[in-house]
Structure 1
Amino acid sequence: MKKRHLLLPLALFSATCSAFEFTEPKQNDTSNLVWTGHISPDTDTMTSAMIAAHIYGGTAVVPGPINPESTFVINYCNATAPQVLADFSQRQVALLDFNQKTQLHPTINESDIVAIIDHHAIGGMPVNLSQVASFDIRPWGSTATVLAARAESLNIDLPKQIACTTLAGILSDTVIFDSPTTTQYDRDYAEKLAKQAGISDLNDFGQQMLIAKSDLSAIDAAEILTMDYKVFEYSGKNVGIGVAETLVAEQLLTRKDEFIKAMQAHKKEQQLDHLFFSVTDTKNQQANLLWIDDNDSQVIKLAFKQTDAATWLALPEVTSRKRQIGPAIQSAIAELN
């Protein structure tokens, strides 16, 4: 009798709580599944959704409009952009390129999340799952690289367009392999994808992407602030960090007053504890950091040993929010609290 009582709940558990299957895609019911990334979609987010839907089924979506670089990639690769989905309710959801609740679209119910594929650390305020879900998180330069590896392991051929967009995801997040987050996996899979896509010059493709990303002269400062933007939870504080990567940094550096005004409004509207913005000069490998008040100045003083906000704070050889800017700010906030 004891065995019978024990086996019944276990049988019910296994029948009702099966996780998304990465290695046996045919076992998954993806008829109501969408693949999506963080609130402000970047090229890695968009292209990862596209290859994930090709591998596993379901629908590739983005939670907001795509940026100029991503638009260029869609046109260059002769691909179709994922649809913008404003309401995720009543949908099964697989997350790509993030695992933090602060970056989750507000209409996503955490109980509907079945899988997460990512290349970021689990920290701060991760999504809180009451159900079994599948995770694939690797310390590589992009989520697109992880999915390229998944496709290879499953012997799934990628159409030319998907190979091209996936390659773009890798080149974007690794800044054409110049980012400190770059791994040999990123380089190897980029080479394989380039062959599948019929692209002979990786660097030329990447440079064209950077050029498309760089010209933001006609875009409002408030939009640029949140174009490549994430909110993190560091030691109980909500921290926004926006980044604009560009080959023509001076075009944005001269608009400092516009960015300060946009940051003041955004910080108040979103009730953030801290807000920082970097114009990252991809040509000269330098971040130019901006903040707006004394509270943020204390963090910067501790994180980077400087506090002068009269001009942009130049940080030579700093290019990565994930590996350099974010961790330094996180450590400083932890020490202050």
Structure 2
Amino acid sequence: MDTIYITGHRHPDTDSIVAAISYANLKNNEQSTAIPCRLGPLNDETAYLLNRFQFEEPFLLKDARIQLVDIPLERPYCVNENTTIFDTLEKMRRCKQPFLAVVDDDQKVIGMITTNDLGTIALADTALGIDLLQDVKASDVAKTLDGTLLYDDDELHLNGKVSIVTLSKHGADRYQVQDRIVIVGEDTQSQKQMIERGAGMLIIVWSGHIEEEVIECAKKNHCPIIISGHGSMNTSRYLFFAPNIKKLMSTSVRSFHINEYMEDVVKKMRKDRFRAYPVVNDHDRLVGYVMKASAIDYQNKSIILVDHNEFSQSVANIEKANILEVIDHHRINDFSTQKPIYFRNEIIGSTSTIVASMYFEKGIEPSKEMAGLLLGAIISDTMNFQSPTTTEKDFYIAEKLSTIAQISIEDLAYDIYFMSSNCTNKTLNDFLEGDVKLFSIEGANVMIAQAIIPSINEISFSQEEIEHSLTEHAKRAHADLYVMVFTDILQKGSYFFYGGKLKSYFSHESFLLMENILSRKKQIVPMITKKLKENL
């Protein structure tokens, strides 16, 4: 089952975060696999509520495009460059895949080996086999031949060529054996003769016992001795599977980082002929393989939007996502999809009210903790039911949640505004970059930041400081107008500050309390829209 990512808007407020958490929980109760997400850091109020009701911070979603980390990868089977051809083929057979990454001692990818690479030992010129056998280890030969290494020597002298000695009336006189790997039978004299004539390695077939004099001769002439577990023919065949894969592997390998986006991966894949690619982590260590055949058919993330529907307020590249649903209480602006979706938009004070009502509609009672969290979000987004966006349904759902959570609305509201709204340690940037949304109004880009505070007396910054910083923020954000709204709960109104090239239209309103102006959506945006219509 595909994972569903449920996310609120950028610069998340409490309603956005709680709607994502609670709706993901509801989806998971319906046998979906849903992950609640956030698009930025939590504000103090949200962090307070999550901690109070024991919920974890949601996953930070950075992009709607799918990454390699989001898809199932083939298991990270691998070998090192000293693995023999025989063992490599055996591992491919066990793993049921015709390729393996070659890694170093730190599990970092240094190459790739495929069955095609290994097949060259049989199909290529004999020069390749000679080259490989020059560096073969006696221990690897013994293992590959299911044999026994009777004697090994540090001073190997191999030219890579192989001789199979059979008895004739001329004995072994006609064989060139200097520095060669020699396959010989059980005749003791022939064995000694091959060693004395300079054989680089002696492989004995059809014999279970070697005379001591042969071993002594081998020691004097630096010639390893192996008793093969096979006859002459299979010994000569399997011998060429004893070298390691170092000279056969490809070192020109394209690998992908685990966090690369699939659309970028596929573009690179189209330039190559390979069918499998190693995937590495931050330490360049192998974590799996991605197959071209499956990568070509990738789909981006499946996403449900809560508390917003405008793409400009959503996760990066949201237009490329598979949008499944929208649960929102804001205006519908630049939203479109390629196929029908479930879209629930209500004229209501909080998205969390909608989500809570969906629990009850489905006959599911939220847990005590979930009810408390949802109640906190409704209180937050309706400004303790003082916002003009508040409806009777908000009151009704809040009362039901209060009963389940066993907490009074008044007590929770007090805690939210007077325990979580500590302005003392906040910088001006914390306010300007906290709960901020982008709006397109009369062709102008307008950023509106809002902070809910117990009292304007909590704010120690001067009007000049705030407006100067707003102008700088407007430049960086390419905004025509940047508005900072401090909403004073005790006075039931808001203070406005402006920055940007359009600030002159509003300058006479700065640092004045606008009574009963609380809602960004229903009051502040329409007020700014009206002013811009009059002047632009």
Same fold (TM over 0.5): yes
Deviation at 1:218, TM superposition (A): 1.2
After superposition, the C-alpha distances for 1:160-204 in whole angstroms (9 at most, x for unaligned) are 2211111111010011111111111001101111111121x2111
Q: Is the 8 A contact 2:329 2:351 kept in 1?
A: yes
Kindly indicate whether the alpha-carbon contact (under 8 Å) linking 1:174 and 1:181 is maintained by their aligned counterparts in 2. yes
- For residue 316 of structure 2, what is the aligned residue in structure 1? 106
Match in the other structure for 2:342 = 134
Distance 1:312 1:213, change over 3 A: farther
1:15 is matched with none
Are 2:440 and 1:233 aligned? yes
CA contact (8 A) 2:438 2:448 kept: yes
Distance 1:143 1:110 in 2: 24
**Aligned amino acid, residue 217 of structure 1:** T
- The answer on 1:164 being equivalent to 2:135 is no
Deviation at 1:293, TM superposition (A): 5.0
Is the partner of 1:214 in helix, strand or coil?
A: coil
Asked if the contact 1:110/1:128 (under 8 Å) is kept, the reply is no
Tell me if the contact between 1:38 and 1:103 (Cα under 8 Å) persists in the aligned partners.
Answer: yes
Q: By how many angstroms is 1:130 displaced?
A: 2.4
- The one of 12, 16, 23 equivalent to 1:52 is 23
Structure-2 residue corresponding to 1:333? 532
SS in structure 1 opposite 2:340?
A: coil
Matched residues in 2 for 1:213 and 1:240: separation? 24
1:315 Cα offset (Å) = 0.7
In the other structure, the counterpart of 1:291 is 498
Quick one: which of 38, 57, 65 aligns to 1:62? Answer: 38
Output the CA distance in 1 between the equivalents of 2:349 and 2:491.
Answer: 20
**85-94 vs 275-284, which moves further:** 85-94
> Contact 2:483 / 2:497 at 8 angstroms: preserved in 1?
yes
The answer to whether the 8 Å contact 1:110/1:127 transfers is no
Q: Following TM superposition, by how much is the alpha carbon of 1:100 offset from its aligned partner in structure 2, in angstroms?
A: 1.5
Q: 1:260 aligns with which of 467, 470, 473?
A: 467
Question: 1:82 deviation in Å?
Answer: 1.5
Give the Cα–Cα distance (whole angstroms) in 1 for the partners of residues 4 and 353 of structure 2.
22
Aligned partners of 2:63, 2:338: CA distance in 1, in Å? 22
- Tell me, what secondary structure is at the counterpart of 1:81? coil
User: What are the within-5 Å matches in structure 2 for residues 109-188 of structure 1?
Assistant: 109-123=319-333, 126-188=334-396
Question: Aligned partner of 1:154: which letter?
Answer: K
What is the identity percentage for the equivalent residue pairs of Structure 1 and Structure 2?
28
Q: Distance in 2 between matches of 1:98 and 1:253?
A: 32
1:71 equivalenced with 2:30 (yes/no): no
The separation in 1 between residues aligned to 2:460 and 2:425, in whole angstroms, is: 14
> What SS does structure 1 have at the residue aligned with 2:305?
strand
Q: How far apart are the structure 2 equivalents of 1:328 and 1:129? A: 30
Aligned partners of 1:62 and 1:85 also within 8 Å: yes
Query: Which of structure 1's runs of 4+ aligned residues deviate more than 6 A?
Result: none
- How far the C-alpha of 1:334 sits from its partner, in A, is 2.9
Structure 1 residue 207: Cα displacement: 1.2
Question: How far off its partner does 1:139 sit?
Answer: 0.4
Partner of 1:206: 413
CA distance in 2, matches of 1:294, 1:147: 40
- Report the counterpart of residue 277 of structure 1 in structure 2: 484
For the 8 Å contact 1:286–1:318, the answer to whether it is kept is yes
Matched, 1:216 2:423: yes
Instruction: Pick the structure with greater CA Rg.
Output: 2
Whether the aligned pair in 2 keeps the contact of 1:253 and 1:279 (CA below 8 Å) is no
Amino acid at match of 1:163: A
* Aligned partner (choices 398, 402, 415) of residue 194 of structure 1: 402
> Shift of the alpha carbon at 1:110?
4.4
Shift of 1:294: 5.8
Name whichever structure is richer in helix by fraction. Answer: 1
Q: Which piece of structure 1 moves more, 244-253 or 184-193? A: 244-253
Determine whether 1:247 maps to 2:454.
yes
Cα distance in 2, alignment partners of residues 243 and 132 from structure 1: 34
Aligned residues: 297
- TM-score of the superposed pair, with normalisation by structure 2: 0.53
Give, in whole Å, the separation in 1 of the partners of 2:351 and 2:37.
15
Indicate the larger mover: 105-114 or 208-217.
105-114
Return the letter of the residue paired with 1:227.
Answer: G
The answer as to whether partners of 1:142 and 1:186 remain within 8 angstroms in 2 is yes
Report the alpha carbon displacement of residue 253 of structure 1 after superposing the two structures with TM. 5.6
Q: Deviations over 1:15-57 (max 9, x none)?
A: xxxxxxxxxxxxxx5x321110110111100110111011113
Rounded Cα–Cα distance in structure 1 between residues aligned with 2:451 and 2:52: 22
Which stretch has the larger CA shift, 73-82 or 282-291? 73-82
Cα distance in structure 1, aligned partners of 2:25 and 2:501: 48
**1:186 counterpart letter in structure 2:** D
What are the ranges of 5 or more consecutive residues in structure 1 without an aligned counterpart? 1-28, 301-306
Residues 94-151 of structure 1 deviation map (CA, whole Å, 9 limit, x = unaligned): 111111122112243344222110011113xx23322322210000000000011111
- AA aligned opposite 1:81: E
Say whether the 8 Å CA contact 2:428–2:461 is kept in structure 1.
Answer: no
Q: Distance in 1 between matches of 2:443 and 2:41?
A: 30
RMSD of equivalent CA atoms: 1.7
- 190 and 265 in structure 1: CA distance in 2 versus 1, 3 angstrom threshold: same
Structure 1 293/88 Cα, relative in aligned 2: closer, same or farther at 3 Å?
Answer: closer
Give unpaired runs (5+ residues) of structure 2.
29-33, 67-300
Q: Aligned equivalents of 2:520 and 2:330: distance in 1?
A: 11
Q: Partner letter of residue 521 of structure 2?
A: K
Q: Within 1, Cα distance between the matches of 2:436 and 2:58?
A: 20
Paired with 2:428 and 2:332, the residues of 1 have a C-alpha distance of 31
Q: Kindly provide the amino acid, as one letter, of the partner of residue 35 in structure 2.
A: T
Amino acid at match of 1:189: I
CA change 1:285–1:78 in 2 (3 A) is: same
